[in-house]
Structure 1
Amino acid sequence: MAAGGAVLLLAAAGTLVLAALLWRRRRAAAGGAGRVCVAVLGDLGRSPRMQYHALSLARHGRGVELLGYLQTRPHGDVLRSGKIRLVPVADLRGLRVGPKLFQYVIKVIVQAVQLLYTMLKIDQPSYILLQNPPGLPSIAVAWVACLFWRSKLIIDWHNYGYTIMSLNHGRNHPLVRIAKWYEKLFGRLSDYNLCVTNAMKEDLWVNCNIKAVTLYDKPASYFKETPLELQHHLYVKLAKDYEPFKPRYVTESGSLNAEWTAFTEMDLKNGRVIKARGRPALLISSTSWTEDEDFSVLLKALEDYERYIDEGVELPSLVCVITGKGPLKDYYNGLINKLHFKHIQICTPWLEAEDYPLLLGSADLGVCLHKSSSGLDLPMKVVDMFGCCLPVCAIYFECLHELVKHDENGLIFRDSNELAEQLKMLFLGFPTLEGKLHNFRKNLCASKQLRWDESWDQTVLPLLGQNE
């Protein structure tokens, strides 16, 4: 029965695709010169690099079809651009009939039909710029769409999909091995390839015979240090929903003449903002709450930090903000709720796209727990933190040195004990403008980091000029 159902579904899928092709051929040609379809089989609002691609293309006068799931609101710059059109793809959920393998096969087939149909409805593009992962089935579908449109296919390799699958299934699972074969085979059919590290560039060439150009993630222009006045307004906004941002105490004499948060005080007479006396240190970590980030490492380090204070070490209290959405968020929130800290407060908000860079630019230290499933990609969250001149403690993996320079712009740790010691060392004497934390920030501010626009113009724009 299951096999018969799959055959029927395949037949229906073929009919739909054929109908879409015939229908599209009857439409007048839209003229694809210069247009680009930027596609990701994922949530556009949580795909910043693809949003950056779309904005860069629009900045150079290209019409852009930005295709993906519309679950989270994209950045306001994307929404305001007259050159970018959002093309929604429905997120398929609830396929729960039969064994898991059968469910997965059915989901891939339906996604393939859905994605191809959507790609054939858009105005004719000169290029399809596709994010991988997820590449199954999007790489093959994009390749077929490019054949139909006579377009060029550009794959932006953020990681390998099969290594992410192996986190749940193991490297030798049949699905993982099929996914690996699929990525290598269809990846070779692309016209151009981008990747996020030199290590991945080398791996693509050696193991897949794919020639790629490294386009490092770079912060957008709005990732920068946040002025104190904007910090205060952000804290006031967050204090409405999150207890850690509310003022610890307000004197009777000052309460009528000032507006307080846990971190700042604004004089209501002249609007002057100062940092609150005895303010806590603000620690931030962003995450997709998935298996490649073990947040128990951070929680154990915070327990040690609390113990240091109880033992008399002169450390500030902490507000730890962990931002993001993902499947393990409820699990870790359950662990957080079991902790009873006296000197540490933790909250896990989901921030609006415009508020996230403001909070990074207001924080004292970032923590990154991203472990690459392939060992070949870099955490974009650290890129954004560095754009805000925010020092980082990041957990070690193979090619992290391409981004985090230990003891120069941050620190690299391997376990919770090492992270706890780093937190103690960095926050001793806080908030004095001395010590390693301040030196890391000075180094980041002085580094004159290349921004996304300049990097994109140097790396991607020449590719688009080779062929329309």
Structure 2
Amino acid sequence: MSGGDEQDGPKHEEEGKREQVTVVVLGDLGHSPRMNYHALSLSREGYEVNLVGYTGSKPQIEVLNDEHITLRYMRPPPNLSSLPRLIAFFVKVLWQAFFLFFTLLTGPCNKALLLQNPPGVPAMPVCWLYCFLTRTRFLVDWHNYGYSILALSLRKSHPLVYIYRMIERTFGRLAHGGLCVTKAMKIDLQQNWGITKVTVLYDRPAERFHPLTLEEKHNFLLKLSSQYPCFSSDSPDKTAFTERYADGRLALCEDRPALLVSSTSWTEDEDFSILFHALQDYENVRHQFPDHYPPLIVVVTGKGPLKVHYTSLVADRQWSHVVLLTPWMTAEDYPKLLASADLGVCLHFSSSGLDLPMKVVDMFGSGLPVAAIYYPALPELVKHNENGLIFKTKEELANLLQDWFRGFPQETEIKETYYDFYKNIDEFRKLQWHSCWTCNALPLFSYGKQKHAKE
């Protein structure tokens, strides 16, 4: 690793050798942004960080360039699709348990270990055993419940779901402390799991998620126009959304289409049929009232098993007023896409009802209002008619989209309600990850020093 920013100055280096902390993800490190943020904050506060997980997509560039963060990759399980489902599950668990324990044992001695949950099986018992044997502080960062995710593919009464829940509950109670993503989850952990040593740490957007200047937006849209005709224009320095005049002045086009973005895993727990129905309604309404609604370009990012199914459905409909694109965006371009859009849609429906969608945090970081599907914990992040819109049914989403884009772009700019959206999103953006992290997470890692100082 190269390059770390020494401006802040590692706080522990002045006293001697930096203490070691291990951050564990039983999954793709590049798809675990919150754990990447933990690693960066730990490094910034003077710790040497070992980030353990699987290869896949690249972690964010700041992690790769930080000389105090070491990536330690485990060997992933082999393809077990030829085995019966139950046998494959147990073989995978045993494989993960062995290689995780081996990776931890062959690493440096640690002051603390922070584990992402889920997945908690076999990670929680393995990490607890390692911490018990090496006298390491065992911490859990609760993103959701693994048993509730497992129940989506099995059933709530399935024996494996019951066993999974018992493992999470037992080893969660044995942890020395922990973090969780919502107040609702903290209350549930305390009341129903008997886990009291947990602190709420809300997700915050990374620095790369921020609003763009018109110049930056124009250059990004020009790049997209070279790949997707719906973004292009007849003029060389003009897109369907922005135009540069002969005197160098930039402006938004008055007849521009609207740009809607969504990010989905294309799985059954994120029901794309809701958005599909709303887009079909928008196509019909725009056909009837072309002067009242703009053409709509919809960009849906992500990969998943149901992607081909829904894209083929859209192709069969042959919409004239709605264009659906499903590109794979790079880590550099995805924030620019969000900052260039007019509205974001979130279809994340929590398996437990207690976590919050990171994609909405990223959208807010980019200055983008969001329409999100309701579940119990969502109002901790999305407040209806304050910083976004909440819907419960496909009909409600259809009505929200038509209301939002009616008269776009002229009338949208004078709707007073929308001014509050952007003002409240700006307030959200002011609270950065690291400042929240130092207040809520850092005390868990500096526990020993605080205790020693008090004595």
Give your verdict on TM over 0.5. yes
* Aligned pair partner of 1:274 in 229, 251, 254: 251
Match of 1:140 in 2: 125
Stretches of 4+ aligned residues off by more than 4 angstroms? 269-272
Match of 2:447 in 1: 466
Deviations 1:233-289 (A, max 9, x none): 222333333343333xx2xxxx3xx4222222235x765432234111111111222
Deviations 1:162-184 (A, max 9, x none): 10011111101111111111111
Match of 1:155 in 2: 140
* Aligned pair partner of 1:396 in 356, 369, 374: 374
* Aligned pair partner of 1:443 in 411, 424, 444: 424
Q: Partners of 1:388 and 1:137 in 2: how far apart?
A: 36
Instruction: Quote the offset at 1:295 in angstroms.
Output: 0.6
Q: Secondary structure at the match of 1:338?
A: helix
Instruction: Quote the offset at 1:384 in angstroms.
Output: 1.4
Deviations 1:23-45 (A, max 9, x none): xxxxxxxx996211111111111
Match of 1:89 in 2: 74
Match of 1:340 in 2: 318
Q: Partners of 1:225 and 1:87 in 2: how far apart?
A: 34
Match of 2:10 in 1: none
Change (3 A) 1:57 1:188: same
The answer to whether structure 1 residue 370 and structure 2 residue 348 are counterparts is yes
Deviations 1:57-90 (A, max 9, x none): 1111211111112211111111111111111123
- In the TM superposition, 1:222-237 aligns within 5 A as 222-237=208-223
Identical-pair percentage: 49
Change (3 A) 1:447 1:99: closer
Q: Partners of 1:108 and 1:336 in 2: how far apart?
A: 39
Match of 1:299 in 2: 276
Deviations 1:100-121 (A, max 9, x none): 1111111100110011111122
Change (3 A) 1:56 1:447: closer
Change (3 A) 1:189 1:71: same
Instruction: Quote the offset at 1:351 in angstroms.
Output: 1.5
Match of 1:453 in 2: 434
Name the TM-score, length of structure 1 as normaliser: 0.87
Deviations 1:183-235 (A, max 9, x none): 11111121111000011001111111112110011112222111112212222
Deviations 1:4-38 (A, max 9, x none): xxxxxxxxxxxxxxxxxxxxxxxxxxx99621111
Q: Partners of 1:126 and 1:173 in 2: how far apart?
A: 38
Unaligned runs of 5+ in 1: 1-30
Count of residue pairs brought into register by the alignment: 429
Q: Partners of 2:76 and 2:267 in 1: how far apart?
A: 19
Match of 2:94 in 1: 109
Q: Secondary structure at the match of 1:123?
A: coil
Match of 1:309 in 2: 286
Change (3 A) 1:448 1:33: closer
Deviates more, 1:115-124 or 1:88-97: 88-97
Name the TM-score, length of structure 2 as normaliser: 0.90
Does the CA contact (< 8 Å) of 2:364 and 2:428 recur in 1?
no
**AA at the equivalent of 1:347:** L
**AA at the equivalent of 1:442:** K
Match of 1:331 in 2: 309
**AA at the equivalent of 1:453:** H
Unaligned runs of 5+ in 2: 1-15, 450-455
What's the C-alpha RMSD, in Å, of the aligned pairs?
1.9
Match of 1:76 in 2: 61
